[in-house]
Each structure stands twice: as C-alpha cells, then as structure tokens.
Amino acid sequence: MELIIATNNAGKVREYKEILTPLGYQVFSQSEKGVHLEVEETGKTFQENALLKARAVYDIAHCPVLADDSGLEVAALGGEPGIYSARYKGLATEHSRRMAILDGLRDKPDRSARFICCICYLDADGQPHLFTGVWPGHIALQEEGSNGFGYDPIFIAEDADGRTTASLPLAFKETHSHRARAVGMLMAWMGREKGR
Ligand code: ITT
C-alpha cells in the first residue's frame, strides 16, 4: 500500500521509511509526491495539529496519509516545549532549542521528560484514526551524540542504557521511541481492521 508522510521534517521521513518499508508499505514523503506545503499549526493539542497536517495533504493527494505531531514535554518546565517543540522560544536552530532546555533545567533537581508522538492516519476515504505514543525518560546534563534529530542529543530514555538517544544506534530508536510506539498502535489497529 502507498502511504504519504505529511511532513517537511527529513528526520521523521527517514524514521517512517525505516519502520514501515519492512512491513510492506511504499512510503513517500509529501515532497516526493509533488505536494509542497507548510501547514500552519494552529491546534491546541498534538492531536489537532496532526489532523490539520494530514488533512491538508489528503485534500491534494486523495490517498492514505500519515502525519505526526510530536514533541518533548519537560516536567520541571511545566510541560514545555510541548506542541511548540519545533519553535521553542522562537529559536531558529535545533542546537539553540536544546541549549534553552539545558539552561532552563540548571539547578532543577527533577529532569524527567517524555517524548510524545501523535499519529493521524487518514485512510483512503479520508477518515481520521489517531494513535499516541509516549516515551518516558529524562534530560541529560549536556548534549551527546549525532544520530537522530531534534532533542535526541539531550534525551535519555528510561529503557535505554543511560546514553542519549542520539548516542545509540538508530535501530534502538526505531524500535523503542514514541514514534515506534504510535506506529505499533496503528499497525495493531490495521491488523484488526483487516480481520473484520
Ligand atoms: P512537520 O510539522 O512538517 O512534521 P516539524 O519538525 O515541524 O515537522 P512538529 O511540529 O511535530 O514537526 O515538531 C516536532 C518537534 O519536536 C521536532 O522538530 C523536534 O524538535 C521534536 N521532536 C519530535 N520527535 C522527535 C524525535 O523523535 N527526536 C527528537 N526530537 C523530536
């Protein structure tokens, strides 16, 4: 089955291709399908934003679409950056956004955090199906590693060996992350649908 990933984030596209291609999906980014748009994320939740992004691409392509709205929630920062993870404090680079988190946590004993990924899958009829994966962990004392993207160099997952996600092999993230967990829920749902 062909599936378009409604995103402009190259890191997300790479992860979805790695996870879904072995499962038999032909995965395309929106730009590979000639869809060039940047959706304004006006929603108040991950779910609302995922639906906005998926719907915008579906309205052009009219085939199954998967969008994800994702981000990092840091407990001692009141859940920030949350849905604003891609534009935290208006900072332009991933490095500066990571530094803002590290600065915000200076002198804070609680470094717990979690990644959230909300997938919105629009089926061939444009019906939405939502799945949310959560990956608990904590924030490292400094950046480490160069794999992955976004906040991976400062995130240490609860189920990892103490290294940041960016320091671990990519295969670990592909099988354990918030995104992998949301995809797992999507696949379980698809399996049930097939059996109906
Ligand atoms: P699209 O909206 O085009 O999909 P985006 O990067 O703007 O791309 P989001 O609005 O969902 O995507 O913002 C997600 C941000 O949260 C992302 O830019 C990263 O900073 C962070 N993030 C999400 N998933 C992550 C992951 O697996 N590893 C590291 N950081 C992640």
Q: Where are the domains of the chain?
A: 2-194
CA of 26 to the centre of ligand 1 (A): 22
Instruction: Report the percentage of the chain scoring pLDDT > 70.
Output: 100
Across 168-179, average pLDDT: 96
Q: What percent of the chain has pLDDT over 90?
A: 94
Q: Which of the residues 68, 69, 103, 107 is marked catalytic?
A: 69
Judge: domain 2-194, CATH 3.90.950.10.
Answer: yes
Is residue 29 within 6 Å of ligand 1 at its C-beta? no
Q: What distance in Å separates the CA atoms of residue 105 and residue 75, rounded to the nearest whole number?
A: 10
- How confident is the model at residue 131, as a pLDDT? 98
Q: How far is the CA of 6 from the centre of ligand 1 (A)?
A: 12
- Ligand 1: does its nearest atom lie under 6 Å from the Cβ of 153? no
Q: Which residues pair with 119 in a beta bridge?
A: 68, 131
Q: How confident is the model at residue 194 (pLDDT cuts 50, 70, 90)?
A: confident
Instruction: Decide if pLDDT at 66 tops 90.
Output: yes
Q: Are 117 and 73 in contact (CB under 8 A)?
A: no
Residue 193: the pLDDT is 86
pTM, whole model, 2 decimals? 0.96
Q: Indicate the top mutation candidate among 5, 12, 40, 177 to test ligand 1's pocket, ranked by most ligand atoms within 8 A of CB.
A: 12
Q: Residue 23: pLDDT band by 50, 70, 90 thresholds?
A: confident
Radius of gyration of the chain (CA): 17
Residue 195 has pLDDT above 90, yes or no: no
**What are φ and ψ of residue 137, in 5° steps?**
180, -150
Per the annotation, the verdict on 69 as an active-site residue is yes
Over residues 106-164, the pLDDT tens digits come to 999 999 999 999 999 999 999 999 999 999 999 999 999 999 999 999 999 999 999 99
Residue 130 structure tokens:
């939502």
| Atom of ligand 1 minimally distant from the CA of 97 | 20
Residue 196: pLDDT band (50, 70, 90) is confident
pLDDT at 35: 95
**Does residue 133 line the site of ligand 1, with CB under 6 A?**
no
Residues 177 and 68: their CA atoms lie apart, in Å, by 13
Tokens coding 12: 């997300």
